[in-house]
Chain A
Amino acid sequence: MSEAMVTAERGRLRWLRRLSGITRRSPTMAAGAAILLVFALMAVFAPWITPFDPEAANARNVLAAPGGAHVFGTDGNGMDVLSRVIAGAGWAFGIAIPAVIVGVLAGVPLGLYTGYRGGWFDEITMRFFDALRVFPSIILALAVVAAAGPSLFNVVLVIGFLDSPVFARVVRAEVLALRHSTFVEAARAAGNPTWRILFVHILPNAIQGAMAQTAVRAAWAVRISATLAFLGVGIQPPTPEWGAMIRQGAEYLVTGQWWVGVFPGIALILMVLGLNMLGDGLQDLLDPRRKAATR
């Protein structure tokens, strides 16, 4: 029994050592992960830690200044700003995570296939991605969501699909390098079908670069969805989404009630900053080319 405890203790120590190793090698990444952990806890425990119901209006306590029972004040509907900022973390994750998953699910197989097959299909896909680059991404997302209708589902889908070229490009570059390696030729000679070669043999060796992109793309997804809501094209109030809250706060800034728009903006910056810091660290760790360039 004591032996089992020692093993467990040793396991924990190894885990801690690894963690401190990452922290030392990339303090930026560790700080980003810490920020995200706080937001994740906020999102998960929001129903228990919000001091008020984030969507409960109170017509008799409108635009109360920060302090007292309402630490961040109340907004134009008398809703508690702190509770809404906390609840907003859930919305940010709830859009960013599915959007990145859509981007990976659409982009990675496409990159695998185009890179492996090559030829005219590869050429056309890549030229199409090149053509997409001439549209500023924010404007493209806005226009498509506005045309498709501003539902949560559409927002996630559009952000995900606009992300997919990034993942496809990274995976394709890796596949091009692996295509003629011995293990792929061996797998082909053994009679594996193409899908098996792609997903079982090549994918595990080609996925690192794409994984390094996920955090930065999630940061982009959070920014875009908040921008959509700020313009009134995405998620609508009274949903506690940070962009929608900044939109509500915009009209009070010029009359002095700064807290309605400032606090959700700070939360948005911190979350995007956390994701960008994590992404920067991930790219340094996982992307060999970038590692070479920064050393």
Chain B
Amino acid sequence: MPIGKMLLRRVALVVPLLFVILLFTFLLVRISGQDPVGLLAGPTATDAEIALVRASLALDQPLWVQFGVYFGRVLQGDLGASWLSNRPVLGEIVERAPATIELMGWGVLIGAGLGIPIGLRAASRPDRSFDQVSRFLSLLGFSVPTYWLGLIMLFVFFYLLDWAPPGMGRLNLMLDPPPFFTGSYLIDGLIAADWEVANSAFRQLVLPVICVAIIAAAPIIKQTRAIALEVLGSDYIRYARAQGLPPREIRAMALRNSRTPVVTFIGTEITGLVGTTSLIEYVFAWGGLGQYGLSAIISGDFAAVQGYVLALALFSVIVFLAVDLFVMLTEPRAGIAA
């Protein structure tokens, strides 16, 4: 199959997926058996507001018509309004997304920077002491409750040692955020040459980023080890060794063959980390999308919950799509399999 057609087909598959996702967020406010208007308008709504929400949801129509109305509204970018802040959900999501991306980006980068070398080293001598220790550390990383890790970090480095600032957002409250360029306060502060802002952003970032990195590194160590073991134990590597190829070439061969599983795995890993990052944001009052979503869940702000779940799902769809396209473009075997 020509590559262009394959890509198109993969992109087209997103449409039914989006349909299922929207169906799910639509049903989310209906599984409770409570009046969805009450959930969406909130406990403080006036009669006029309730009437407005009721009319916009087409609740006098059958369920599939209601879904159609919801579908149409979402396509137009109308996710409803949060009753807590009384602001459109879409605007808040767009506004808060950079904070989450900054935290997750640094966390995944550092987690991968630690996890991949550890996993490779463990796989090079399986079942030796380094492997045993790294496997145990990885299991420990799987078992630590994210939020507890954040709380302990704050206790040790803020309360006991006073090395870190309190977990209250992305910047010292006295400072103004730097002019928007990339959305990362650290990078934007450096670009604007505002050292005070960059320094404060950095100090605020350290603890939550370490938490995300620890949680991210655990599965990276485990998977890198498994992928490396599989590739190193394969027949073609053994054949290459038997032929007497230099180790450098063998390593290059192994790397080329582990690219696809690694990229696929990092894709699923990132989408799983979205939940973890939300909890870290909550503990550090990060003010990003995750904290917004969790606060909405806790206070029963269901218009915001719907928007948040939808945003996370869309993020995953984009990541999965990017991974698949990357694999299709770089992996000659993918064309034969499809």
Q: Which positions in A face B, CB cutoff 8 Å?
A: 28, 127-128, 130-131, 133-140, 142-144, 146-149, 219, 223, 226-227, 230-233, 243, 246, 249-250, 253-254, 256, 258, 261-262, 265, 268-269, 272-273, 276-277, 280, 293-295
Contacts and interface: CB of A to CB of B under 8 A. Distances in A.
A32 B147 CA distance: 23
Contact of A254 (B155, B313, B320): B155
A146 B272 contact: no
B139 A137 contact: no
Contacts of A277: 139
B100 interface: no
29 contacts: A28-B135, A127-B16, A127-B20, A130-B17, A131-B20, A133-B316, A134-B316, A135-B21, A138-B279, A139-B309, A139-B312, A143-B305, A147-B39, A147-B302, A148-B31, A149-B32, A219-B142, A223-B145, A227-B279, A230-B145, A246-B148, A253-B151, A254-B155, A254-B159, A265-B145, A265-B152, A269-B148, A276-B142, A295-B233
A295 B123 CA distance: 11
B271 A138 contact: no
A138 B276 contact: yes
Contacts of A293: 226, 229-230
Contact of B272 (A137, A230, A233): A137
B80 to A, nearest CB: 15
Contacts of A261: 148, 151
Contact of A276 (B143, B276, B305, B308): B143
A169 to B, nearest CB: 14
Given A133-B268, A134-B316, A148-B31, 4 more contacts: A133-B271, A138-B279, A142-B294, A258-B155
A284 to B, nearest CB: 11
Contacts of A140: 309
Contact of A135 (B139, B268, B312): B312
A231 B271 contact: no
B230 to A, nearest CB: 6
Contact of B151 (A133, A142, A246, A273): A246
Interface string B274-297: 111011001100000000011001
Given A143-B28, A232-B298, A268-B145, A134 B139 contact: no
A219 B141 CA distance: 13
B105 interface: no
A232 B271 CA distance: 24
B21 A148 contact: no
A135 B39 contact: no
Nearest to A140: B309
Contact of A230 (B147, B271, B300, B308): B147
A210 B142 CA distance: 20
B191 interface: no
B52 interface: no
B106 interface: no
Contacts of A134: 17, 21, 271, 313, 316-317, 320
Interface string B143-186: 11111100110110011000000100000000000000000000
A294 B229 contact: yes
Given A262-B152, A273-B140, A276-B142, A146 B300 contact: yes
B236 interface: no
